[in-house]
Amino acid sequence: MQTYEFDTIVLGGGPGGFSAGIYAARGAVSTAIIDISMLGGQPSNYLELENYPGFSQVGGYELMEKFEEHADKFGVNKFPMQEIQSVDLVSNPKVIITNEGEFRAKTVIIATGAKPMRLGVPGEEEFIGRGVSFCAVCDGAFYKDKVVAVVGGGNSAVEEAMYLTKFASKVYLIHRRNELRADKIVQERAFKNDKIEFVWDTIVREIKGEELVNSLIVENVKSGEVSKLEVNGIFPYIGILPNVDNFAGQLTQDQRGFIVTDETMKTSLDGVYAVGDVRVTPLRQVITAAADGAVGAVYAVKYVEALKEVTV
Ligand code: NAP
């Protein structure tokens, strides 16, 4: 098995990871980014961003390509598509074992992001890829002239519902309350969209179908009324959970598993930093993940320098 040694290893190649990689490499420490899939992270699937400063409108994929080019310019080593077998953050050096080799690092910056939460209702797992999707940008085109439902009231649900109206003949937006959580500007656009029908105070009880999804059993939480909604597809956008499977329990996390850090992005373990969506933070955006990456990397570099001074 090949062994690799770096001063800093960044786990995850989204905006937080790339930013951390760029700052660490510019801080003159050897740096690698490891990811379980292609680099780019969640924003690669966003059709458009309108809130990344300097870009009034930019494709998510396009923006992440720019991040990657920037990291390449400073010589960040990249290891995409790694099957991670184990992560030991407690040992010194930290050790990450993947299908490709053993990676050792003085510091690790965790930038693994978050994944969509499941509704947890019958039919959800069964119909994934056959009417249940967690990515409108990936699967929206399959629903041309069809009826779909989006679940949730946050920015993701409302933005993706609007995106789906490009293809679908009708989009139900099912929300458990009668008020959206999404930003006001996003809400206003959705309210003006004739193809979106809001289904308020309602939760999904079951996803039904035969070969493909054909209906939802929904319940009005105020009246208790249960009804059937005929749809060809459902896109749950009800929030996110952190990607911490390979190292859960090694550091301090909150009840939902998000990693607790201080203002330098340091976790409860020396030499381990967490940045972006995976950590406890009040705002999860590309800009905040990138900012976290900068802070975490600067302190990771200081940590590496202090270790080198001790060993000289
Ligand atoms: P979110 O803001 O946490 O919203 C989750 C939504 O799902 C809420 O409306 C919530 O209802 C609902 N919900 C939660 N659990 C549910 C359940 N079990 N059943 C039914 N509904 C449930 O999540 P998000 O929209 O994925 O956004 C995550 C973060 O990314 C946010 O910080 C968001 O601002 C950010 N984001 C930003 C942009 C952008 O700025 N362009 C785009 C996408 C996401 P309640 O409202 O009743 O709690």
Best of 159, 241, 256, 285 for a ligand 1 pocket test (most atoms within 8 Å of beta carbon): 285
State how far the Cα of 143 lies from the Cα of 130, in Å rounded to an integer.
11
Region 123-128: what's the mean pLDDT? 95
The residues annotated as belonging to the active site are 135, 138-139
pTM value > 0.85: no
> pLDDT tens across 149-181, in order?
999 999 999 999 999 999 999 999 999 999 999
DSSP per residue, 116-161:
EPP---TTTTTTBTTTB-S-HHHHGGGGTT-EEEEE-SSHHHHHHH
Q: Whose CA is nearest to atom 43 of ligand 1?
A: 156
Q: Whose CA is nearest to atom 34 of ligand 1?
A: 155
CA 7 to centroid of ligand 1, rounded, Å: 36
Q: Atom of ligand 1 at shortest distance to CA of 283? A: 32
CA 174 to centroid of ligand 1, rounded, Å: 13
175: its two tokens: 């929300």
Q: Atom of ligand 1 at shortest distance to CA of 114? A: 28
- The letter for the amino acid at 151 is V
Q: Atom of ligand 1 at shortest distance to CA of 238? A: 7
Region 210-228: what's the mean pLDDT? 98
Peptide bond into 93 cis (omega under 30): yes
CA 299 to centroid of ligand 1, rounded, Å: 31
Q: What is the DSSP letter of 77?
A: E
Region of residue 55 (phi > 0: left; psi between -120 and 50: alpha; otherwise: beta) = beta
End-to-end CA distance of the chain: 30
Residues 115, 120, 125, 128, CA torsion sign? negative
Task: Answer whether 217's CB lies under 8 Å from 228's CB.
Answer: yes
The answer, yes or no, to whether residue 76 has pLDDT greater than 80, is yes
State how far the Cα of 148 lies from the Cα of 23, in Å rounded to an integer.
43
State how far the Cα of 249 lies from the Cα of 268, in Å rounded to an integer.
11
Q: What is the DSSP letter of 44?
A: G
Q: Which CATH class is domain 118-236?
A: alpha beta
> pLDDT tens across 238-293, in order?
999 999 999 999 999 999 999 999 999 999 999 999 999 999 999 889 999 999 99
Helix (H, G, I), strand (E, B) or coil at 253: strand
> pLDDT tens across 185-200, in order?
999 999 999 999 999 9
Q: What is the DSSP letter of 258?
A: P
CA 280 to centroid of ligand 1, rounded, Å: 15
Name the residue ranges covered by the structural domains of the chain: 2-115+240-311, 118-236
Q: Whose CA is nearest to atom 9 of ligand 1?
A: 153
Query: Phi first, then psi: what are they for 247, rounded to 5°?
Result: -140, 15
CA 134 to centroid of ligand 1, rounded, Å: 13
Q: Atom of ligand 1 at shortest distance to CA of 177? A: 47
| pLDDT of 168 | 98
The binding-site residues of ligand 1, defined as CB within 6 angstroms of any ligand atom, are 51, 119, 151-157, 159, 176-177, 181, 203, 237-240, 283-285
Q: Atom of ligand 1 at shortest distance to CA of 284? A: 32
- Bridge partners (DSSP) of residue 266 are 273
| pLDDT of 44 | 86
Q: Whose CA is nearest to atom 33 of ligand 1?
A: 155
Q: Whose CA is nearest to atom 26 of ligand 1?
A: 239
CA 104 to centroid of ligand 1, rounded, Å: 36
Best of 184, 237, 238, 256 for a ligand 1 pocket test (most atoms within 8 Å of beta carbon): 238
**Which CATH code fits 2-115+240-311?**
3.50.50.60
Task: Answer whether 233's CB lies under 8 Å from 133's CB.
Answer: yes
CA 97 to centroid of ligand 1, rounded, Å: 34
Region 129-144: what's the mean pLDDT? 90
